[in-house]
Structure 1
Amino acid sequence: MDMETNTNIPVAEQGQLPQAPKHIFILSGQSNMAGRGGVFKHPHGHGHWDGVVPPECQSHPCILRLSATLNWEPAREPLHYDIDTRKVCGVGPGMAFANVVRDHLGGECLGLVPCAVGGTAIKEWDRGQQLYENMVKRSKESLKSEGEIKALLWYQGESDTSSHHDAEAYKGNMERLIHNVREDLGLPSLPIIQVAIASGDGRYTEKVREAQLGIDLPNVTCVDAKGLPLKQDNLHLTTQAQVTLGHMLADAFLTKFYAPPSQSPKTG
C-alpha cells in the first residue's frame, strides 16, 4: 500500500486529547464523502493533494477522528487519508460540518468516524460485505468513549449510475442499508443524512437522485448537492463545494435532529 502521499499527517499521542467525544458522527459512502477537494492528477497518473485547508475546515481541539487503528486523535484534513487508501484524499465535507456543529455543543467534544471508500457501489455496502462490516465495527468501537452516535452522513451513488439495473435497485438497497445499520448498532431511530448526488459515472444519475430524494423513512433526510461546483473531471466536488456541502449537512442536522442542551423538555 503506497502511503507516501500521507507522510505529512502528524500522529497524535492519546494523552493530548482534551476529552473523549460525546457527539459522534459516522461519515460514509464513496469518494465525494472521502474528499477529493484539492486533489489533482499528474499527467502520468498518480494524484496529489494541494494541501490547501480552507478556514472552515481548520482543526479544533474538540474535533476528533477515529483513526484506521481505532484510536481517537485530533481531526484534520484529509479526514480519510488512512481509510480510503487506494486513492489520494483531499478535502471532504466532514471538517466543515464538524466546525459548524461544534459551535452548538456547549464545549463538548465531537468525534468523526470516517468510513467512506471511493469508487464503491451500494451493493458493496450490503450486510456481510467488508465495507459494511468495517463501518459497523468502527462505529461500535467509537462508542467505547461513552459518547453517542448522533447521525450517519452518507454520500454515495455515483458508482450506481452506469446501469439501469443498479439505478433501479438503488432505493431498495439504500433502505435496506438504513435498516441494517440501525439494527446492527442497536439505534432504531439513528438519524441518517444522505446527499443526493451532483454527478455520476454513467447515464442514470437522475434515476439514482430520484431514489435518494424519494426515500421516506423516519429520521432520514436528504440534502441536494446538485449545482455545487465540480472539478474538471465532472465527478468530484471542488474544495469550496465541499465546504458548502459541509454547511448544508450541518444545517440539516441542527434543524432536524438536534435539541440544544439548554432546552428543557416541553410539558403540557
Structure 2
Amino acid sequence: MATSSEKPKKQIFILSGQSNMSGRGGVRNRKWDGEVPQECQPHPSVFRFSSSSLWEPASPPLHADIDYSKTCGVGPGLPFARSLLPHLSSSAAIGLVPCAIGGTEIDLWGKGQPLYEDMVRRAKEAVAAGGGEIGAVLWFQGESDTLSAEAAEGYKGKMEKLIEDLRSDLGLPSLPFIQVAIASGSEPWIDKVREAQFAIDMPNVVCVDAKGLPLNEDRLHLSTQAQVLLGNMLAEAYINNFLNPPSK
C-alpha cells in the first residue's frame, strides 16, 4: 500500500510525430512570442521527460530540448494533460514524453531508424524513471508525406507497421494510439494522406481531425489557439475511447 510520502505513479503519454506535435503555436519568423494561455500553464501534477531522461515540471515549449534545431512554441501536450486531469483520480499525475521532430516523413519513423529507436528508448526510460504506465501515444505527422504521390500512397501501410512495431517493442499489444489527421501540407496529396489516416482500422487506434483549426500565417502550423483546441480534442478522444469506452 502506498504511503502519503510516496509520489503517485504517472499516467504516461508519448508525444510524437513532426512539427505540429512539437508545437509551433506562437512562432513567427523563427521566434516564439512567449504567450502561454491558461490551458498551457504549468500544473503541479503534470511533468515532462527531458532530453536528459529526467522528470521535471512541464512548461512550454515542451519540445524545446528535443526538436532543438527548430523554434518550438505551444503544442497540444499541456492542454491535453490539463483537460484530462479532472477525469483521473485526485492523486493522479500525468507524464508527457516529447519525441516529435519537425519536418520528418514517415520513413524516418520506421523500426531501426534513429527517431523510432529514440522514441522507444525514451518511452522505456520514462517508465523506469518515474513508475506508472504508458496510457497512449499521441501522434501528429504526415505533412511531409504530402510531397509526392508515392509517399502519400505508401503512408497507410507504413503507419500500420509503425503502430505494430511500437506495441511489440514496448510489450503493450493493446497500447492506445491517437493520431491526428493533418490540416495542412502540399497539394495535391493532402487528401490522400488524410484518407490513409482515417482508413487505419486497428484495435485501440482512433483519429481526431485537425482540419479547420486556425493556422499560423505560414498556413502550415497550428496557431496557439488551435493547439489548445487540439489538446482538448485529444483528451476527449482518450476519455471517450479508453477511460469511458462506449458499451458494445
Q: Same fold by TM-score, threshold 0.5 exceeded?
A: yes
Determine whether 1:37 maps to 2:25: yes
The size of the alignment, in residue pairs, is 239
Q: 1:114: Cα distance to partner?
A: 0.3
Identify the residue that residue 52 of structure 2 maps to in structure 1: 69
Identify the residue that residue 92 of structure 2 maps to in structure 1: 108
Provide, for residues 104-133 of structure 1, a one-character-per-residue CA deviation record: whole Å limited to 9, x for no partner: 122211100000000000000000000000
SS at match of 1:257: helix
Q: 1:258: Cα distance to partner?
A: 1.2
Identify the residue that residue 6 of structure 1 maps to in structure 2: none
Identify the residue that residue 27 of structure 1 maps to in structure 2: 15
Partners in 2 of 1:26 and 1:69 — Cα distance?
16
Identify the residue that residue 186 of structure 2 maps to in structure 1: 201
Q: Which amino acid aligns with 2:51?
A: A
Identify the residue that residue 7 of structure 1 maps to in structure 2: none
Q: 1:259: Cα distance to partner?
A: 4.8
Partners in 2 of 1:68 and 1:204 — Cα distance?
34
Provide, for residues 169-212 of structure 1, a one-character-per-residue CA deviation record: whole Å limited to 9, x for no partner: 00000000000000000000000000000001342000000000
Mean Cα displacement is larger for which, 101-110 or 229-238? 101-110
Partners in 2 of 1:61 and 1:74 — Cα distance?
7
| Contact 1:201–1:235, Cα closer than 8 Å, also in 2 | no
Partners in 2 of 1:82 and 1:124 — Cα distance?
19
Determine whether 1:181 maps to 2:166: yes
Q: 1:20: Cα distance to partner?
A: 5.4
Mapping 1:11-22, distance limit 5 Å: 19=7, 21-22=9-10
Provide, for residues 65-112 of structure 1, a one-character-per-residue CA deviation record: whole Å limited to 9, x for no partner: 000000000000000000001100000000000001111122211100
Provide, for residues 4-59 of structure 1, a one-character-per-residue CA deviation record: whole Å limited to 9, x for no partner: xxxxxxxxxxxxxx935420000000000000000110xxxxx1110000011110
| Contact 1:156–1:197, Cα closer than 8 Å, also in 2 | yes
Partners in 2 of 1:104 and 1:34 — Cα distance?
25
Q: Which amino acid aligns with 1:178?
A: I
| Contact 1:28–1:34, Cα closer than 8 Å, also in 2 | yes
Partners in 2 of 1:35 and 1:169 — Cα distance?
26
Mapping 1:55-204, distance limit 5 Å: 55-106=38-89, 107-144=91-128, 145-204=130-189
TM-score (norm 1): 0.87
Partners in 1 of 2:183 and 2:155 — Cα distance?
16
Residue of structure 1 aligned with 2:235, choices 250, 258, 262: 250
Partners in 2 of 1:135 and 1:19 — Cα distance?
25
Q: Which amino acid aligns with 1:130?
A: P
What is the percentage of aligned positions where both structures have the same residue? 61
| Contact 1:29–1:115, Cα closer than 8 Å, also in 2 | yes
Q: Which amino acid aligns with 1:168?
A: E
Partners in 1 of 2:20 and 2:226 — Cα distance?
10
Partners in 2 of 1:73 and 1:220 — Cα distance?
29
TM-score (norm 2): 0.94
Unaligned runs of 5+ in 1: 1-17, 42-46, 261-265
Partners in 1 of 2:204 and 2:47 — Cα distance?
25
Partners in 1 of 2:27 and 2:124 — Cα distance?
31
Partners in 2 of 1:259 and 1:214 — Cα distance?
24
Identify the residue that residue 263 of structure 1 maps to in structure 2: none
Identify the residue that residue 3 of structure 2 maps to in structure 1: none
